[in-house]
Amino acid sequence: MSAGFPVARPRRLRRTAALRRLVAPGGVQAGDLVLPLFVKEGISEPRPVGSMPGVLQHTRDSLRKAAVDAVDAGVGGLILFGIPAVKDARGSAADDPDGIIQLALGDLAAEVGQDTVLMADLCLCEYTDHGHCGVLTASRDVDNDVTLERYASAAVAQAAAGAHVVAPSGMMDGQVAAIRTALDRAGFGDVAICAYSAKYASAFYGPFRDAAEGAPQFGDRASYQQDLGRPDEALREVLLDVDEGADIVMVKPALAYLDIIARVAAAVPLPVAAYQVSGEYAMVEAAAANGWLDRDRVIMETLTAIRRAGAGIILTYWAAEVARRLR
């Protein structure tokens, strides 16, 4: 107490769960969450991903069931990753109308397409035999401009199959402009682009490469993904994507890059997405399995941190589970 004025007590508004919900400035909602799903060609039963407990490589049938379950839970969207039976140097399955990703998109468009947002990851690493995100030159560098042609073709194929949003993740220069032009010319002007605008060369991707079977067979992706020590580069990349016609911009990974999410959200007028990646998921699941932390609380704490940083859309492998919890 000082000068006759009552002491402020911020804890009053934290006293009960109902009060905390009432004054929350926009916490995590089920509709903010997007569930990543993997579908693999040539398998008869879904296969568990060993490094990601609870995550599966789906068959087309099990994918449909998982999608219905997630939509019933209230998730805002689904993002698909395809794993073909045959890979080659140019990633031919990526734009094959009969490729696994196109067939799966068609299945889900018929099953839940009126009830959710169908997103498709648009990269070549799942489809190339060398595991890099584009077509290679003779010296085994990624050829940026030839790769743009492949991305444009894949975008049109995904749109034709039923994708509402295509999500280019390869970090090629000019990818958004090439994709936007191709979609518009093909009559898919209403298909949105969620650009992986600030995608870092991160150590958190390891389990995903098990799930998508897309690990590079030589070298790494540091020449086209971003350097974690250069935050200003993220804003440059994001603004380039905005100028090229992106509808949503994404930061990946999320938890180690909350500062980047905040800077991007403050700088652009578009929705900002963040991907809570496989390594973030796996380390929580592993620690919880050993009894080292409270799994449910950590899940909600990390998602809330991502939302608080400024992401309005969160891609997370816990999407369906958390959406049910938030009902």
List, by residue number, the catalytic residues: 199, 252
Backbone region of residue 252 per phi and psi (left: phi > 0; alpha: psi in -120 to 50; beta: other values): beta
Q: Which residue has the tokens 């998508």?
A: 212
- C-alpha dihedral sign at 123, 107, 208, 192: positive
User: CA 245 to CA 166: how far, in whole Å?
Assistant: 13
Q: How buried is 1 (Cβ within 10 angstroms: 0-12 exposed, 13-18 middle, 19+ buried)?
A: exposed
User: CA 219 to CA 56: how far, in whole Å?
Assistant: 27
Determine how many CB atoms are found less than 10 A away from the CB of residue 247.
17
User: CA 108 to CA 41: how far, in whole Å?
Assistant: 16
Phi, psi values for residue 95, rounded to 5°: -120, 10
User: CA 255 to CA 268: how far, in whole Å?
Assistant: 20
Structure tokens at 286: 């592993």
Structure tokens at 318: 């816990």
Q: In whole angstroms, what separates CA 250 from the centre of its chain?
A: 8
Q: Which residue has the tokens 């990390």?
A: 302
Structure tokens at 103: 């067939």
Structure tokens at 39: 């579908």
